[in-house]
Amino acid sequence: MISKARVFKPSIRKAGFGDLEAIHALDQRLFPPGVRFDIDLFYFHLLDPASTIFIAGEKDFIGGFVIFERLSPRTGTIVTIDVTPQLQGRGIGAKLMSAVDKLAGRYDLRWIILQVSTANLLAKEFYVKQGYVTTRLLKGYYQGREDAWEMKRRLIN
């Protein structure tokens, strides 16, 4: 746990299997049942050559992570981005998104897409600040009960 008074200076790195329990636990804390991911999904993304999980952390503390997946030769997606609540608003998410942008550039991708709950106004605002625009409403996206916005950003390579 990190106090608000302490400065958190994370390094950004790729996740490994040793990080699995910590990233799964963070996701379980942040999202409700039906939205949070099963541990098998994290295994899948660690093994999938089209996926990368970046972690923002210090020593044995993970402050956040992002899962990115290449969907096609020109498009990737943010599967999820999770930042521990006491560190939200302190630039951790932006650093994780920057790591994704660099990776997407290496693959010469043109677009990154993501989905965000229509109820999650803070996340949507964050994505807008990152250059994403809303492209469409996805009715019943989360277990048929909760709507999501699809958002997209064009990369300039």
- Asked whether residue 3 is assigned to any structural domain, the reply reads no
Dist. CA 152–CA 138, nearest whole Å: 13
- Asked whether residue 130 is assigned to any structural domain, the reply reads yes
- Asked whether residue 4 is assigned to any structural domain, the reply reads no
Which single residue is written with the structure tokens 């503390």?
A: 61
Which single residue is written with the structure tokens 């409700």?
A: 32
pLDDT for 6-40, tens place per residue?
Answer: 677 889 999 999 999 999 999 999 988 878 899 99
pTM for this predicted structure: 0.91
pLDDT for 61-87, tens place per residue?
Answer: 899 999 999 999 999 999 999 999 988
- Asked whether residue 2 is assigned to any structural domain, the reply reads no
Structure tokens at 17: 């299997």
**Strand residue runs (E) in 29-107:** 51-58, 61-70, 75-83
Confidence of residue 157 (pLDDT cuts 50, 70, 90): low
Domain harbouring 67, CATH code: 3.40.630.30
Dist. CA 78–CA 56, nearest whole Å: 16
- Asked whether residue 110 is assigned to any structural domain, the reply reads yes
Residue 43 region by backbone torsions, left for phi larger than 0, else alpha for psi between -120 and 50, else beta: alpha
- Asked whether residue 35 is assigned to any structural domain, the reply reads yes
Best CA proximity match to 40, nearest among 31, 32, 48? 48
- Asked whether residue 149 is assigned to any structural domain, the reply reads yes
- Asked whether residue 119 is assigned to any structural domain, the reply reads yes
**Number of independent structural domains in the chain:** 1
Domain holding 36, by residue range, is 12-154
